[in-house]
């Protein structure tokens, strides 16, 4: 392999690499590696499709079980010991004992979470490649472009194709961090760690009315950012800016808004709300950032379960299609030296992979449902066998002609 460099300007250049076209045995060797990967993906697809059906049915059963047992509480009432170890539902505002604050920037917010997001002005490398044939070789022309942008992650300029003139600092002066309130209450209850983790409706903290006179003299406010530079509109590489966002407002004051109302479904144990283990096998620990009845909470959970089920079905089919395509690609390699035959075989292999993956996916789903929904499994099995039955029904007709 060889390479050649051509410059256009300081922030863009091109590099051309060339390699000799692989011979038949080399292409065959590469295809065999893809075949091994294809076999692995093929068997992985069966696992994804089969286990997804069991998971979906278990989740649906657990949600039905939870809805039949849940007790809706009035958050204005005191704790009722009779509900201990029972699944309960309530809607109320979030409450925390004290505000969260960042002393470095003098930001104070009464919320469940406060996030400090740090960005640095850095060089970023983009590359775009295209292949072409020339003098019996495959050549790759790669165009490298360098721009300066605000990035929250540290970009290592040592990995650039051309580091000279595009050097980034090796560390940020300030780190990003998220602070979480030590205790979060809803009505008379303390939320578990799992419920608190579901409060992620982050909103940017507006600095429009922030008192800039109390700031460090090296800081500048522009829009909703603290800039570690006196010229925020003309940043240089290495400059830092900081923004804040919050989730789950929990204070009684008007700034930056009223307390967030949430709906919770979990098990009551004393004054704590903890996960509830169903007989079907799932754990119920649900929080929504809106005022919902118990019926509405479980309806939303059933909708999420349905969407997740179909998403994993699609992923399982895609894995099977890709696995079959990689496995039979060796046939294409054997005939790719004949142009016309190569195109026909390529089309035929794609159609074969599509038909087989669809039929096997449906059969796998049917087997997954067999124990729980035998009638649905039989219907899916019949649909999966339709291509085979149609093909067999056409054979006698051709012989008769």
Question: pLDDT tens for residues 14-27?
Answer: 777 666 555 545 55
Question: pLDDT tens for residues 62-74?
Answer: 999 999 999 999 8
Confidence (pTM): 0.79
The proportion of the chain whose per-residue pLDDT surpasses 70, expressed as a percent, equals 80
Q: Indicate if the pLDDT at residue 336 is higher than 70.
A: no
Of 124-128, 152-156, 214-218, 323-327, the poorest mean pLDDT is in: 214-218
Mean pLDDT of the chain: 84
pLDDT band at 81 (very low <50, low <70, confident <90, very high): confident
Specify the pLDDT at position 4.
55
The residues, any chain, with a CB within 8 Å of residue 296's CB and separated by 6 or more, are: 263
Stronger pLDDT, 175 or 29, i.e. the higher one: 175
Stronger pLDDT, 317 or 137, i.e. the higher one: 317
Question: pLDDT tens for residues 241-271?
Answer: 999 999 999 987 667 888 999 999 999 999 9
pLDDT band at 357 (very low <50, low <70, confident <90, very high): confident
Q: Indicate if the pLDDT at residue 194 is higher than 60.
A: yes
Pull the structure tokens for residue 364.
Answer: 């796998």
Q: Indicate if the pLDDT at residue 30 is higher than 80.
A: no
Stronger pLDDT, 218 or 120, i.e. the higher one: 120
Calpha distance 99→112 (Å, rounded): 9
């Amino acid at each position: 392999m060889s390479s050649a460099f051509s410059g256009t300007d300081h922030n863009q250049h091109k590099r051309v690499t060339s390699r000799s076209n692989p011979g038949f045995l080399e292409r065959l060797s590469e295809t065999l590696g893809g075949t091994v990967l294809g076999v692995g993906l093929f068997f992985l697809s069966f696992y994804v499709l089969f286990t997804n059906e069991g998971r979906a049915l278990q989740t649906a059963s657990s949600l039905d079980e939870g809805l039949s047992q849940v007790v809706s509480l009035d958050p204005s009432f005191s704790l009722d010991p009779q509900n201990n170890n029972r699944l309960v539902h309530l809607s109320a505002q979030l409450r925390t004992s004290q505000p969260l604050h960042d002393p470095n920037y003098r930001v104070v917010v009464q919320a469940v979470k406060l996030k400090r997001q740090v960005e640095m002005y850095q060089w970023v490398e983009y590359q775009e490649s295209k292949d072409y044939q020339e003098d019996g070789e495959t050549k790759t022309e790669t165009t490298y472009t360098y721009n300066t942008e605000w990035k929250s992650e540290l970009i290592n300029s040592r990995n650039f194709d051309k580091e000279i003139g595009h050097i980034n600092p090796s560390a940020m002066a300030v780190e990003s961090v998220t602070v979480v309130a030590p205790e979060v209450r809803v009505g008379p209850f303390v939320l578990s760690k799992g419920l608190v983790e579901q409060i992620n409706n982050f909103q940017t903290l507006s600095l429009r009315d922030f008192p800039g006179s109390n700031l460090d003299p090296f800081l500048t406010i522009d829009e909703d950012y603290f800039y570690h530079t006196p010229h925020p509109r003309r940043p240089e590489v290495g400059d830092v800016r900081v923004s804040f966002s919050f989730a789950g407002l929990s204070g009684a004051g008007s700034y930056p808004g009223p307390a967030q109302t949430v709906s919770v479904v979990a098990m009551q144990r004393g004054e704590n709300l903890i996960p509830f283990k169903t007989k079907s096998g799932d754990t119920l620990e649900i929080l929504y950032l809106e005022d919902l009845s118990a019926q509405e909470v479980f309806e939303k959970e059933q909708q999420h379960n349905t969407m997740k089920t179909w998403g994993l079905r699609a992923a399982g089919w895609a894995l099977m299609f890709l696995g079959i395509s990689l496995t039979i690609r060796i046939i294409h390699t054997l005939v790719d030296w004949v142009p016309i035959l190569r195109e026909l075989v390529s089309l035929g292999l794609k159609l074969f992979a599509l038909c087989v993956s669809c039929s096997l996916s449906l059969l796998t789903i049917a087997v997954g449902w067999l124990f729980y929904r035998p009638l649905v499994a039989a219907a899916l099995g019949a649909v999966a066998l339709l291509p085979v039955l149609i093909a067999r029904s056409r054979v006698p007709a051709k012989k008769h002609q």
